[in-house]
């Protein structure tokens, strides 16, 4: 017998002012335990702007390219067109996408101490819903001696969710007594629309009677009859499952156990059944306990106690070759042994042709038939393991199973196919990762749309911490939709609207409450965004901190401040005001410029930002909502630094630069602007660069008087070099130095007043001894000098810095704000080197006179210290001056007073060593205190800083001592011994008086004597 085909084509909703058309594919099978209704979400098609929100208008912005988180940022949105947001948000931008979303109208349910579920629902011609509810503990009976209780109920619900009427499937209301003989016992297996204003419900009543209930669209009972088995023998099997194939044929079949009353335990009895509840044909399909060893499959030696075997309700269909395809299950009444699922293909004769069995080793693997997208050729199903959920497809002809899509663990999902080949889906998601990444954060009831490859196009969610399983969704009118299923708990989700309150379950945490509700489909527009021009000073070192960078670019300040005048502004009417899962402003603002698939960091570079570039830069900003609808805009980020000249109308940037003294004479305005990198931007129109430092764009001016001063430095420098005997050792600090130079731009403001925008630069004029380090932003000036070798050992860093006129300037010096530094370390203590490297010897350790000792000046700016090693120092042998005379303290009768004195001047290392070299000198001699001094020039070499004087005595004279003074007028007292003169200190000049007197006493007679002593030698005289 053929039943009328109830597979219907989708119909279009009436036209709305909205640009959307939401197509609904309503597949109302004659018998379905879980109806899958198509919610077909179509995007509104609107024209998209071609201007990309990036400096590179032909380049699409893709975040996390090449990864699973790849996300394309759309072009700039257009002006807000969502009517509810006008005129308040007229200056915002809005993306062209509009998706359908859900508003929650109401949710309710029913709660008993049992496991409560909505298992079926159909729509009447009056746009009302007949809902089939089941209250029972099937699957829990046997645990802790629990007895079975099962009750079915029908409810009539209007389009607003109001329950107009309820009736019990059985003949009387439940007594809630655990007995199959309870006349209120009823185990319904399905609800069918007979397409004539009546509806059929098949159920198992008290004492296992198979019953058929016929009702009208107002829940009036038309008839209640015992199933007409038409001579067929069920052989003790309890028939309490039904299904329908794609020709509309209904099937009744069994789920039997190992009791003695069951005579047939190796085959399933499957009957075709008509609308009046009459069996027509009987098929016998091989049972799983006969095909497989249940005990062995679960690691036991025998079948577990209380085992059961049967075909899942609403899973049995017929293939193109009349084969049967369906899902079977082995389980136990105690629930103590793992349950096992099998997807089977049987021949029309009942032979088992193919079996697919999932098994995660825990007994928790399940299979669920997806009727609405299957056909006699392909059998779609979801496979649920503890680690993941997969959508799979069995090709009935080839007997091959293919994995179509993998979903996160805990997902419960059903599908329907739309007219255009795309898919609508609905269900409950516990983890928003994998394919659902970015669409939510908390577990939620969801409805959405996928393309032909099962890639998500849209997804709407209603957050619920309580796990939800939806089995049906129906269109009631153009906007309201009914949903039904069950919820684990649900007090908060249904707003405590269980009619008699939520009851304590027999098995808390495992049994569910029934759930139904009304959702309203609304247009969910893309979010809106606005951003005005922003100035940021990139000289702030805090820009290296990601948090600071994000805050400055989003909020215009260093902290989160959504009210700041420079903050990016975003808004979303649905997520913030209308959503079933309302968000707050913080949630929305946290999504600015973050890839919703990987919201950890903001990729500013990909959005067009380059902090190293000063001046205006157009940066993309975007915002996403809970459905990943995206709106982009772009705003000018005007990047300035401490040295930039800024007004509301213009930016002028010119940087300090250095120029060799050899080139300053040729400087002109264009060369100056080119060297300084002069840039001038207008900020009131297109942020155009109106002066780029070239002659083609020449708007900014150079102070000609200052430029002339710089150029004249060359003349003075050259003159001093030409007049110097040692030009490399001269001090050129009056010419080689920093100079001020102003670059400026004059313009008229809105009041026709002349305004001047100026940039004061530092121009570093350099020569061969100037060190310029651009990277570390330092300029070190220094010049060569000459110094006596004998004094070099005692030079300090401070003295060397003074002698070399050393200064260090910041390359980014701001004129009149920064000053030169003189904090250096030198190489004065570097060890003595011989041979070709002697010039690298530190000044303090130099031993030989040279003109090329290398001076190193290192700035004490750790870690950015810079060394200038371009300076040379001349260390020369010093000459000292000794003024010497001989004074005869008294005369002797008959003894001639000498008028000349003769001396040895011995150069020694120290007072106790032998002379390194000896010089002879001649001087004046006499008895008067005003005897003139004779000046003698003496050489002083490294480490030979002492001189010792000896008198060459005339005959009949003796040596009486000496007087030594640093000035001629400061004769000290007579000292005994040989004079030892120390030239180590800064004094290079001494006055020495050598004292002699006659060696004879009164009365001594003089012999012949001659005074040619000393005259045979050469003498040192001035």
Of 501, 524, 547, the one marking the end of a domain is: 524
Stretch 761-769: mean pLDDT, rounded? 97
Stretch 276-299: mean pLDDT, rounded? 93
Check pLDDT > 70 for residue 176. yes
pLDDT at 811 (0 to 100): 94
The answer to whether residues 179 and 268 belong to one domain is yes
Of 489, 524, 559, the one marking the end of a domain is: 524
Q: Please give the tally of structural domains in the chain.
A: 4
The Cα–Cα gap between 971 and 929 comes to: 11
Check pLDDT > 60 for residue 121. yes
- Order of all β-strands in the sheet with 423-429: 412-417, 423-429, 444-450, 456-463
pTM here is 0.63
Residue whose C-alpha is closest to residue 809's, from 819, 823, 797: 819
At a CB cut-off of 8 Å and minimum separation 6, what does 449 contact?
Answer: 39, 40, 41, 42, 418, 422, 423, 424, 425, 456, 457, 458, 459
- The residue that leads in pLDDT, 34 or 544, is 544
Residue whose C-alpha is closest to residue 567's, from 530, 597, 537, 536: 530
pLDDT at 750 (0 to 100): 85
The answer to whether residues 501 and 387 belong to one domain is yes
DSSP 8-state class, residue 836: G
Backbone phi, psi, residue 709, to 5°: -60, -40
Residue 306 lies in a domain: yes
Residues of the chain with pLDDT > 70: what percent?
91
DSSP 8-state class, residue 294: H
Three-state SS letters, 578-637? HCCCCCCHHHHHCCCCCCCCCCCCCCCCCCCCCCCCCEEEEEEEEEECCCCCEEEEEEEE
Within 10 angstroms of residue 284's Cβ, the number of other Cβ atoms is 15
The answer to whether residues 831 and 892 belong to one domain is no
Residue 1006 lies in a domain: no
Burial classification of residue 428, based on how many CB atoms lie within 10 Å of its CB (0-12 exposed, 13-18 middle, 19 or more buried): buried
The answer to whether residues 715 and 825 belong to one domain is no
pLDDT at 144 (0 to 100): 63
- Cβ 348 vs Cβ 294: under 8 Å: no
The answer to whether residues 700 and 746 belong to one domain is yes
What's the pLDDT band for 1020 if we cut at 50, 70, 90? Answer: very low
Q: Considering Cα of 122, then 126, then 127, then 130, what sign does the dihedral take?
A: negative
The answer to whether residues 209 and 271 belong to one domain is yes
- Tokens read off for 545: 């901190």
Check pLDDT > 80 for residue 998. yes
- The residue that leads in pLDDT, 350 or 1, is 350
The residues pairing with 308 across neighbouring beta strands, listed in sequence order, are: 257, 331
Chain segment 407-418, per-residue pLDDT in tens: 999 999 999 888
Of 490, 524, 558, the one marking the end of a domain is: 524
Chain segment 391-401, per-residue pLDDT in tens: 999 999 999 99
What's the pLDDT band for 772 if we cut at 50, 70, 90? Answer: very high
Residue 82 lies in a domain: no
What's the pLDDT band for 1015 if we cut at 50, 70, 90? Answer: low
- The residue that leads in pLDDT, 667 or 970, is 667
Between vectors from CA 514 to CA 513 and to CA 519, what angle results, nearest 5°? Answer: 125
CATH code where residue 910 lies: 2.60.40
Q: Is 523 helix (H, G, I), strand (E, B) or coil?
A: strand
- The residue that leads in pLDDT, 777 or 149, is 777
Average per-residue pLDDT in the chain?
Answer: 87
- Tokens read off for 872: 């040379």
Backbone phi, psi, residue 252, to 5°: -115, 135
CATH code where residue 516 lies: 2.130.10
What's the pLDDT band for 40 if we cut at 50, 70, 90? Answer: very low
Stretch 211-236: mean pLDDT, rounded? 92
What's the pLDDT band for 442 if we cut at 50, 70, 90? Answer: confident
The Cα–Cα gap between 41 and 48 comes to: 20
pLDDT at 48 (0 to 100): 26
The Cα–Cα gap between 452 and 24 comes to: 17
What's the pLDDT band for 4 if we cut at 50, 70, 90? Answer: very low
Residue located via tokens 């829940």: 219
pLDDT at 464 (0 to 100): 83
Chain segment 859-914, per-residue pLDDT in tens: 998 788 999 999 999 999 888 999 999 999 998 888 899 999 999 999 988 767 77
The Cα–Cα gap between 132 and 167 comes to: 10
Chain segment 913-956, per-residue pLDDT in tens: 778 889 999 999 999 888 999 999 998 888 888 999 999 999 89
In this predicted structure, which of 22-26, 107-111, 810-814 has the lowest mean pLDDT? Answer: 22-26
Residue 1018 lies in a domain: no
Stretch 610-639: mean pLDDT, rounded? 94
Quote the strand ranges of 969-1014, DSSP E.
980-982, 989-998
Q: Which helix (H) or strand (E) holds 797?
A: helix 797-803
What's the pLDDT band for 334 if we cut at 50, 70, 90? Answer: confident
Residue 858 lies in a domain: yes
The answer to whether residues 725 and 789 belong to one domain is no
- Tokens read off for 447: 């409805």
Quote the strand ranges of 679-748, DSSP E.
679-682, 689-691, 701-702, 738-748
Check pLDDT > 90 for residue 53. no
- Cβ 319 vs Cβ 376: under 8 Å: yes
Residue 308 lies in a domain: yes
- Report in angstroms the alpha-carbon separations of 739 from 657, 670, 710, 736: 10, 18, 7, 9
pLDDT at 581 (0 to 100): 76
The Cα–Cα gap between 238 and 347 comes to: 23
Q: Domain range spanning residue 298?
A: 103-524
Residue 323 lies in a domain: yes
- Report in angstroms the alpha-carbon separations of 713 from 703, 716, 807, 1010: 16, 5, 19, 70
Residues of the chain with pLDDT > 90: what percent?
60
- Tokens read off for 335: 């629930």
pLDDT at 827 (0 to 100): 96
What's the pLDDT band for 360 if we cut at 50, 70, 90? Answer: low
What's the pLDDT band for 215 if we cut at 50, 70, 90? Answer: very high
Residue located via tokens 């629930």: 335
Check pLDDT > 70 for residue 474. yes
Residue whose C-alpha is closest to residue 168's, from 83, 85, 238, 110: 110
The Cα–Cα gap between 608 and 582 comes to: 32
Four-CA torsion 672, 674, 676, 677, nearest 10 degrees: 160
pLDDT at 75 (0 to 100): 93
The answer to whether residues 847 and 901 belong to one domain is no
- The residue that leads in pLDDT, 518 or 1007, is 518
pLDDT at 292 (0 to 100): 93
Residue 731 lies in a domain: yes
- Tokens read off for 161: 């969710």
Chain segment 791-835, per-residue pLDDT in tens: 898 899 999 999 999 999 999 898 888 889 999 999 999 999 999
The answer to whether residues 949 and 815 belong to one domain is no
The answer to whether residues 856 and 753 belong to one domain is no
The answer to whether residues 348 and 295 belong to one domain is yes
- Helix spans in 267-309 (H): 288-291, 294-297
- Cβ 308 vs Cβ 257: under 8 Å: yes
In this predicted structure, which of 7-16, 649-658, 780-789, 959-968 has the lowest mean pLDDT? Answer: 7-16
The answer to whether residues 720 and 775 belong to one domain is no
pLDDT at 1019 (0 to 100): 43
β-strand pairing of 785-788 with 807-810 = unpaired
What's the pLDDT band for 1011 if we cut at 50, 70, 90? Answer: low
């Amino acid at each position: 017998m053929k039943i009328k085909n109830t597979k219907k084509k989708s119909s279009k909703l009436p036209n709305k002012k909205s640009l959307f058309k939401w197509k609904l594919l309503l597949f109302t099978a004659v018998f379905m335990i879980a109806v899958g209704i198509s919610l077909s979400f179509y995007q509104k098609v609107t024209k998209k702007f071609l201007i990309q929100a990036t400096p590179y208008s032909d380049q699409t912005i893709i975040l996390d390219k090449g990864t699973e988180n790849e996300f394309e940022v759309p072009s700039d949105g257009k002006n807000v067109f969502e009517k509810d947001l006008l005129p308040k948000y007229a200056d915002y931008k809005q993306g062209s996408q509009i998706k359908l979303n859900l508003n929650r109208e109401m949710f309710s349910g029913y709660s008993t101490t049992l496991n409560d579920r909505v298992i079926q629902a159909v729509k009447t011609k009056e746009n009302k819903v007949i809902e089939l509810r089941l209250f029972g503990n099937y699957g829990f009976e046997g645990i802790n001696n629990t007895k079975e209780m099962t009750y079915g109920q029908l409810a009539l619900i209007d389009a607003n969710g109001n329950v107009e009427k309820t009736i019990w499937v059985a003949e009387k209301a439940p007594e809630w007594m655990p007995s199959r003989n309870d006349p209120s016992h009823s185990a319904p297996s399905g609800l069918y629309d007979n397409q004539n204003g009546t509806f059929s419900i098949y159920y198992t009543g008290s004492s296992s009677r198979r019953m058929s209930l016929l009702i009208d669209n107002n829940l009036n009972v038309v008839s209640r009859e015992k199933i007409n088995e038409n001579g067929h023998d069920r052989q003790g099997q309890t028939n309490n499952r039904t299904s329908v194939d794609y020709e509309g044929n209904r099937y009744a079949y069994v789920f039997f156990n190992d009791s003695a009353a069951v005579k047939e335990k190796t085959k399933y009895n499957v009957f075709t059944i008509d609308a009046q509840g009459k069996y027509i044909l009987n098929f016998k399909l091989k049972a799983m306990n006969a095909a497989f060893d249940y005990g062995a499959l679960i690691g036991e030696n025998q079948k577990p106690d209380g085992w059961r075997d049967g075909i899942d309700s609403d899973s049995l269909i017929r293939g193109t070759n009349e084969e049967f395809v369906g899902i079977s299950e082995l389980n136990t009444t105690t629930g103590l042994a793992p349950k096992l699922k099998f997807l089977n293909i049987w021949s029309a004769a009942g032979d088992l042709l193919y079996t697919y069995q999932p098994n995660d080793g825990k007994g928790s693997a399940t299979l669920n038939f997806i009727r609405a997208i299957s056909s006699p050729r392909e059998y779609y199903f979801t496979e649920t393991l503890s680690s993941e959920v997969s959508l799979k497809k069995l090709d009935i002809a080839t007997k091959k199973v293919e994995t179509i899509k993998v979903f996160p663990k805990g997902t419960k999902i059903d599908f329907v196919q739309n007219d255009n080949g795309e898919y609508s889906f609905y269900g409950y998601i516990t983890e928003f990762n994998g394919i659902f990444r970015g669409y939510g954060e908390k577990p939620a009831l969801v409805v959405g749309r996928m393309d032909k490859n099962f890639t998500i196009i849209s997804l709407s969610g209603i957050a619920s911490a309580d796990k939800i399983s939806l089995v049906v969704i129906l269109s009631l009118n153009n906007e309201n939709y009914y949903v039904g299923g069950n919820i684990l708990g649900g007090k908060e989700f249904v707003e405590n609207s269980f009619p008699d309150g939520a009851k304590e379950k027999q098995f808390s945490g495992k049994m569910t409450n029934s759930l139904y509700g009304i959702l309203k489909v609304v247009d969910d527009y893309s979010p809106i965004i606005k951003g005005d021009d922003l100035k940021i000073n990139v000289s702030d070192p805090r820009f290296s901190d990601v948090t600071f960078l994000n805050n400055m670019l989003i909020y215009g300040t260093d902290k989160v401040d959504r009210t700041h005048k420079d903050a990016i502004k975003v808004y979303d009417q649905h997520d913030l005001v209308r959503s079933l899962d309302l968000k707050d402003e913080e949630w929305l603002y946290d999504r600015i410029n973050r890839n919703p698939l990987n919201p950890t960091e903001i990729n500013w570079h990909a959005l067009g930002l380059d902090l190293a570039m000063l001046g205006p830069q157009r940066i993309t900003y975007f915002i996403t909502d809970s459905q990943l609808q995206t709106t982009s805009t772009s705003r000018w980020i005007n990047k300035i630094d401490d040295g930039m000249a800024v007004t509301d109308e213009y930016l002028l940037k010119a940087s300090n630069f250095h120029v060799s003294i050899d080139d300053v004479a040729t400087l002109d305005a264009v060369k100056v602007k080119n060297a300084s990198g002069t840039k001038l931007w207008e900020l009131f129109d297109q942020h155009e660069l109106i002066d780029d430092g070239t002659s083609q764009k020449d708007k900014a001016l150079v102070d000609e008087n200052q430029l002339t001063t710089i150029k004249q430095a060359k003349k003075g420098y050259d003159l001093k070099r030409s007049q110097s005997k040692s030009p490399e050792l001269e001090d050129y600090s009056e010419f080689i130095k920093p100079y001020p130079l102003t670059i400026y731009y004059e313009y008229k403001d809105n009041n026709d007043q002349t305004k001047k925008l100026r940039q004061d630069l530092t121009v570093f004029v350099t020569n061969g001894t100037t060190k310029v380090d651009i990277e570390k932003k330092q300029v070190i000036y220094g010049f060569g000098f000459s110094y006596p070798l004998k004094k070099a050992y005692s030079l300090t860093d401070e003295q060397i810095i003074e002698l070399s006129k050393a200064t260090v300037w910041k390359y980014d010096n701001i004129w009149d704000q920064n000053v030169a530094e003189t904090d250096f370390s030198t190489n004065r203590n570097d060890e003595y080197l011989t041979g070709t490297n002697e010039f690298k010897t530190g000044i303090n350790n130099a031993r030989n006179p040279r003109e090329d000792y290398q001076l190193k000046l290192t700035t004490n700016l750790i870690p950015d210290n810079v060394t200038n090693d371009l300076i040379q120092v001349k260390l020369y042998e010093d000459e000292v001056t000794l003024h010497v005379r001989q004074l005869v303290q008294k005369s002797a009768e008959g003894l001639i007073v000498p008028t000349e004195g003769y001396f040895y001047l011995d150069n020694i290392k120290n007072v106790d060593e032998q002379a390194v070299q000896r010089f002879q000198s001649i001087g004046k001699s006499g008895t008067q205190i005003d005897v003139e001094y004779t000046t003698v020039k003496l050489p002083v070499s490294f480490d030979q800083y002492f001189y010792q004087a000896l008198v060459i005595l005339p005959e009949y004279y003796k040596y009486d001592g000496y007087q030594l003074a640093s000035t001629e007028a400061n004769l000290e007292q007579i000292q005994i011994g040989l004079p030892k003169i120390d030239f180590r200190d800064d004094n290079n000049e001494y006055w020495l008086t050598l004292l002699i007197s006659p060696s004879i006493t009164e009365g001594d007679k003089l012999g012949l004597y001659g005074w040619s002593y000393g005259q045979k030698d050469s003498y040192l005289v001035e």
